[in-house]
Structure 1
């Protein structure tokens, strides 16, 4: 399989051996960034010089604690400093001033500026999204007290280079899928996520792990996963994609999550493919009734809600992640009784599209770490991001899947949305319903989608039996239409 992967994907493949490359863990790099660095230093056989690699990381990716030293070099020694990091650009409509933030170093847009001559050179790269990764070159604009009004000193951007070393061709990725069997493709996906396919006992375990990628490929897909400790929830949602965001528990508030009225800034939900809220058992939700209402509105209205008169719009799915005790790992029990009161409201749970049974995913162990050639995670997450915009897959699902009469709309939408995500993940090469193998579609797309939504329905019946045991709110039948040749 390794030779086939390299032949098909060429420079998009990278050699990963996370068991032996233990020093990489100490760098605390997200997977997509680590693979980019590896690709710069590996030869055709996957070998590289450790000292060269570490030298690059220490030079271009210093720790946050080194920021004061960096500021000194920029503002006092007038050095040009290059960093490989995230940059977030903002344009002040009133003044036309362009500024930026470096979130990983705490540098805010009040301290920065991008002068017009530089902006003209770098804007094509920087306007692609609100936040982008790349190599930033920083300089200093000294203060001028003689000017009227006085000109404050600011750190300025002098150059920017996107760190993607290749063009991401989605059609190429779709076509290449046809060169692999479904079983092989599942292994390709796991390798891209940093997991070793041979470490799993069977295909069921593999697919259970791959469920976590569904919000990566489908817009506004809302899921909840409850799992034992040590199954890698945080790793997947915090390391695989540069387009997603993992919120590490703590306090989740309306300003932080959706819209800050005082600052007139949008929250985490805007500008990301998904926002995963970790450790939901420990999360403190400020003003629970308000948060419940906003979450419900956002999930019900397909990524749109109004906060203090401001309309928030986003394609981000919401992912709730929590641990669960052994004796509660049963979909026929109330699995939400350990969670905050927010999750005990059936109206909120109903707006979650699916449930991931995290106990079906094996706990992390050495043999599950990838060892060999695999898809570059940076390339992989870019592909998943692009797949979100392709509406042809939903059209295929709509043409294939029919439901029983009088079906509850939320069940229908949830199953179809999940099925669409599975189709993008496992069969990106299909262009029309005629390309779909009905047996594989049923096995790998529709059936698992029904199971994920079915667990939500069982929990709804437990939380609010009077409402959700009504015949009209039961799970409908989903069947496949025959497609004319």
Structure 2
């Protein structure tokens, strides 16, 4: 397979491929981005001739040895420039405008020299010099006493491919099937596809979508050492990675004083590393970012600026996904100032970093792949095209997707199709696979929005409809797993489910397990039922049970049994206080040996005198119950006025029973007319 794919690549893209182990071996001795190395390797080693490769590697190593500036050897290189009078170096160049002197001045990162005067023509031709800087091959001369610096820039050449023949790419693509082409893409960014399962491959490909799709907003949170920022820092010369999180509106969007467009106008991708540390100095930064992420434009002063840069947010999750799901949400690593439903709603995708394994030496390929600069130019050229309309030829989206959801799914599908089928040769099944993936990564965002923003984002049950068969297919995300909380089928007598507000501030699902055993009328509590905050609820329920059991059935003798109570917090939302009514129903169910109706959730609470209280956050409570798998709902009559707050399509999902007092609630729960 490796040999066959290597042969195909060299045949289909002669001079555009390189053995990736060469990149790895040389990179160990030179701390330069992959695209800088492969620019040189592409000049001297883009062949499958071993002898030519060996000679080419020697030349590349010599160039790096002679011309690449290592920071610890900066003084040695400066001396060479002075002694020889002229010298060629490879360094990262950043240019700033000196307004007082009215000149552009360059700073060379590794050489540690600043103030070098730059010809305005270079700045106009390569605007990225002003925004984060780019790697260049520079010819520097030395003129002692010259101002503003004795180092004079004679020639500057960015390390980038000048152009790309898209027709050559389209024709070359036809030699590969989909699986082979996915492997080509992964090897081209230095990864070995055989080290990853199919699911992880899709996530790794999805990381590339922001590079090929305009104004695409995505985030990836997951464990450390999974290469989340590698693509944007090392592989693409068209992406800029903001590390450390500190930035300003002027740097990112528009500098009013200098009248210069920021990063979003000059780069294809602006990526934020370590999202937990993002800190904007400007109060209006998040609002401007929301505006830009929504429309691709923003207002700054009297200026309306447009940009095509995609926004990517990557960071680490320190807890397990299961713990985060129970205690908070999967976007909680973001700083508090950014925990805003309107901001997250503008994300098109959430790549689950926890489904990508940690990188080991075997994760990196030793086979052939495209030169990353060729890959980057292909991605950039494809940003001018869209494949979003490919969905409509075969499918339509379900009614749970609003306009933002639809836009997100269409952009993800377009990006995947451009990556996998740049020549447009996809089939219906190819579109279906991309569509299912797109629905998953958008639904993952929507599920978190539901936790953050409540009922405004209740519609999370994404689906697509096949235009031919009219069959609707629903798409779920693996980590949600909600429907198993309340299993189908009859439960044991004394077992009940309720949705209540936990002390963590979120609605959660609680399972009550109550068992009657021979004894002398005690209530024995275990598990969460031992929590002090539940003492009142347990006391109210048991007191009312002993006083009113004869109203339920003459066969119940509270003093002749002990009742063993175990309470489980199924979603980690903390102890709930309003459980007296569900506990009373469970006591009656256990005493009678009769099960509560299958998949029923009991809502509401009661006082020791039997007064029923309304359900808090009624609409959200119903949504939590539905997500947990409830099919039946027992609701106090006092909450009937809140039905108007519930979306009709959600309310219609349940068989609803109303009760007026605790005894009525018992009969309705047990299905007794």
Give the alignment's TM-score, normalised by structure 1.
0.83
Asked whether the 8 Å contact 2:398–2:464 carries over to 1, the reply is yes
**1:118-171 CA deviation, whole Å, 9 max, x = no partner?**
x5xx79974799666542222356768xxxxxx755644323445457852122
In 1, Cα distance between the equivalents of 2:247 and 2:76? 33
In 2, Cα distance between the equivalents of 1:36 and 1:323? 31
**1:264-314 CA deviation, whole Å, 9 max, x = no partner?**
444333311111111112333334x52221211110122x11234444432
Residue 61 (structure 1) aligns with: 68
1:206 aligns with 2:195: no
In 2, Cα distance between the equivalents of 1:428 and 1:460? 33
The structure 1 residue matched to 2:418, chosen from 412, 424, 443, is 424
The SS at the match of 1:462 is helix
Residue 456 (structure 1) aligns with: 445
Displacement of 1:183: 0.8
1:37 aligns with 2:40: yes
Shift in alpha-carbon separation, 1:248–1:127, aligned structure 2, 3 A:
closer
Residue 167 (structure 2) aligns with: 171
Residue 20 (structure 2) aligns with: 16
Asked whether the 8 Å contact 1:228–1:324 carries over to 2, the reply is yes
Displacement of 1:241: 0.2
In 2, Cα distance between the equivalents of 1:301 and 1:311? 12
In 1, Cα distance between the equivalents of 2:213 and 2:37? 25
1:4 aligns with 2:11: no
Residue 428 (structure 2) aligns with: 438
**1:429-478 CA deviation, whole Å, 9 max, x = no partner?**
11xxxx531011111x2111111101011010000113212xxx556643
Shift in alpha-carbon separation, 1:400–1:156, aligned structure 2, 3 A:
farther
Asked whether the 8 Å contact 1:85–1:134 carries over to 2, the reply is yes
Residue 356 (structure 1) aligns with: 351
**1:95-123 CA deviation, whole Å, 9 max, x = no partner?**
99676554565655x531328xxx5xx79
Shift in alpha-carbon separation, 1:399–1:330, aligned structure 2, 3 A:
farther
**1:334-364 CA deviation, whole Å, 9 max, x = no partner?**
1122331133210100011110001111110
Shift in alpha-carbon separation, 1:329–1:125, aligned structure 2, 3 A:
farther
Asked whether the 8 Å contact 2:417–2:426 carries over to 1, the reply is no
Residue 81 (structure 1) aligns with: 87
Unaligned runs of at least 5 residues, structure 2: 469-673
Residue 519 (structure 2) aligns with: none
Residue 231 (structure 2) aligns with: 236
In 2, Cα distance between the equivalents of 1:312 and 1:105? 35
Max radius of gyration: which structure? 2
Higher relative contact order (CA 8 A, sep 6+): 1
Residue 147 (structure 1) aligns with: none
* 1:83-482 matches, cutoff 5 A: 83-87=89-93, 102=108, 105=111, 111-114=116-119, 126=126, 133-140=135-142, 152=148, 155-161=151-157, 163-164=159-160, 167-200=163-196, 202-287=197-282, 289-302=283-296, 304-328=297-321, 334-391=329-386, 393-397=387-391, 401-404=395-398, 407-430=401-424, 435-443=425-433, 445-469=434-458, 474=460, 477-479=463-465, 481=467
**1:343-399 CA deviation, whole Å, 9 max, x = no partner?**
3210100011110001111110121111122211221122112111224x2344565
Displacement of 1:94: 12
Root-mean-square deviation (CA, aligned residues, Å) is 3.4
Residue 613 (structure 2) aligns with: none
In 1, Cα distance between the equivalents of 2:377 and 2:128? 13
The SS at the match of 2:270 is strand
**1:30-53 CA deviation, whole Å, 9 max, x = no partner?**
111122233344362243576643
The SS at the match of 1:224 is strand
Asked whether the 8 Å contact 1:112–1:154 carries over to 2, the reply is no
Asked whether the 8 Å contact 2:443–2:462 carries over to 1, the reply is no
In 1, Cα distance between the equivalents of 2:344 and 2:410? 18
The SS at the match of 2:357 is coil
Displacement of 1:258: 2.4
Shift in alpha-carbon separation, 1:85–1:125, aligned structure 2, 3 A:
farther
Unaligned runs of at least 5 residues, structure 1: 145-150
Residue 148 (structure 1) aligns with: none
Number of residues paired by the alignment? Answer: 456
Give the alignment's TM-score, normalised by structure 2.
0.61
Asked whether the 8 Å contact 1:217–1:384 carries over to 2, the reply is yes
Asked whether the 8 Å contact 1:329–1:335 carries over to 2, the reply is no
Asked whether the 8 Å contact 1:398–1:416 carries over to 2, the reply is no
